[in-house]
């Protein structure tokens, strides 16, 4: 599972997920990308599940890039605990994703195989996604 080695703040605030992605909104490395259509938190477990799904399809013929990283820790208080007594301890890690963000990229697969692969990945994510191709810059 992905998790940062070192962080500035152990228990960050929730934050807001309004607006579009500021960066990482185009296919930079591969030929096909998986693009987020809505905002949400993607956990390190979900990223790992998608990574496994893609690597099963790609194997030795292609290459994969993960364009998101879970930097934010989410805290949780134990079950049956009374109100108060501070914030809970960090439970898991999430990547904050906004609409337009490219989550994963592929190279070395044909259009149909890439489409099928990203369709399988979409089932494992809590947000709506779509496949996009790299734009040719002249």
For the segment 7-20, what is each residue's pLDDT rounded down to a tens digit?
999 999 999 999 99
pLDDT tens digits, 36-90: 999 999 999 999 999 999 999 988 899 999 999 999 999 999 999 999 999 999 9
**Which of 23, 10, 37 shows the shortest CA–CA distance to 91?**
10
Polymer length of the chain: 138
Our CA angle for 126, 35, 12, nearest 5°, is 55
CATH class of the 32-133 domain in this structure: alpha beta
């Amino acid at each position: 599972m992905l998790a940062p080695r070192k962080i500035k703040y152990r228990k960050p605030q929730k934050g807001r997920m309004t607006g579009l992605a500021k960066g990482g909104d185009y296919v930079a490395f591969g030929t096909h990308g998986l693009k987020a259509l809505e905002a949400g938190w993607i956990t390190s477990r979900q990223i790992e599940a998608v990574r496994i799904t893609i690597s099963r399809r790609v194997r030795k013929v292609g290459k994969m890039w993960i364009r998101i990283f879970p930097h934010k820790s989410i805290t949780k208080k134990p079950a049956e605990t009374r109100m108060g007594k501070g914030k809970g301890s960090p439970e898991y890690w999430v990547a904050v994703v906004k609409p337009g963000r490219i989550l994963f990229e592929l190279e070395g697969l044909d259009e149909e195989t890439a489409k099928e692969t990203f369709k399988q990945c979409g089932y494992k994510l809590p947000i709506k996604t779509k496949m996009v191709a790299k734009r040719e810059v002249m």
